[in-house]
Structure 1
Amino acid sequence: MTRFTRIACLTIALLPLPALAEVQLTLGACVNVQAVQGSEQTASSGQRLTLADGTQQLVVECTTEVGREEIRETSDAFVIRFSAEDAELKLSAPAINTRNEMKSFNQQGNWQLIDGRGRAVAATADVLEKEGFQLVRDYPQELGAYNRSGAVAAVAVQAQNAGAELQMNPEGLLLDPQANVDQEMVSRMLRYWYLKADEQTREEWDSWVDSSNR
Structure 2
Amino acid sequence: MEKTIRLPGNEERLYISPPLVISFDTQLISQVNFQLPRLENEREASHFNAAPRLALLDGDAMPIPVKLDILAITSTAKVVDYEIETERYNKSAKRASLPQFATMMADDSTLLSDVSELDTVPPQSQTLTEQRLKYWFRLADPQTRNHFLQWAEKQPPS
* Runs of 5+ consecutive residues of structure 1 not aligned to the other structure: 1-61, 160-214
2: CA distance between counterparts of 1:107 and 1:119?
Answer: 26
2:41 maps to 1:94:
no
Q: Match of 2:21?
A: 79
1:158-212 Cα shifts (integer Å, max 9, x gaps): 76xxxxxxxxxxxxxxxxxxxxxxxxxxxxxxxxxxxxxxxxxxxxxxxxxxxxx
Q: 1:190-205 to 2 correspondence within 5 Å? A: none
Counterpart AA for 2:3: T
Q: Is the 8 A contact 2:74 2:85 kept in 1?
A: no
Q: Match of 2:61?
A: 118
Number of positions where the alignment pairs a residue of Structure 1 with one of Structure 2: 98
* Runs of 5+ consecutive residues of structure 2 not aligned to the other structure: 104-158
RMSD across aligned C-alpha pairs, in angstroms?
1.8
Structure possessing the higher relative contact order (Cα contacts under 8 Å, 6 or more residues apart) = 2
Which has the larger strand fraction?
1
- The alpha carbon displacement at 1:133 in A equals 4.9
Q: 1:136-155 to 2 correspondence within 5 Å? A: 136-155=79-98
- The alpha carbon displacement at 1:132 in A equals 6.5
4+ aligned runs moved over 3 Å, structure 1 = none
- The alpha carbon displacement at 1:141 in A equals 0.2
- The alpha carbon displacement at 1:96 in A equals 0.3
Q: Match of 2:2?
A: 63
Give the greater-gyration-radius structure (CA): 1
Counterpart AA for 2:51: Q
TM-score normalised to the size of structure 1? 0.43
Counterpart AA for 2:5: V
1: CA distance between counterparts of 2:59 and 2:91?
Answer: 33
Aligned-pair identity in percent equals 23
2: CA distance between counterparts of 1:97 and 1:133?
Answer: 30
Q: Match of 2:112?
A: none
TM-score normalised to the size of structure 2? 0.57
Counterpart AA for 1:100: R
Counterpart AA for 2:2: T
1: CA distance between counterparts of 2:78 and 2:46?
Answer: 21
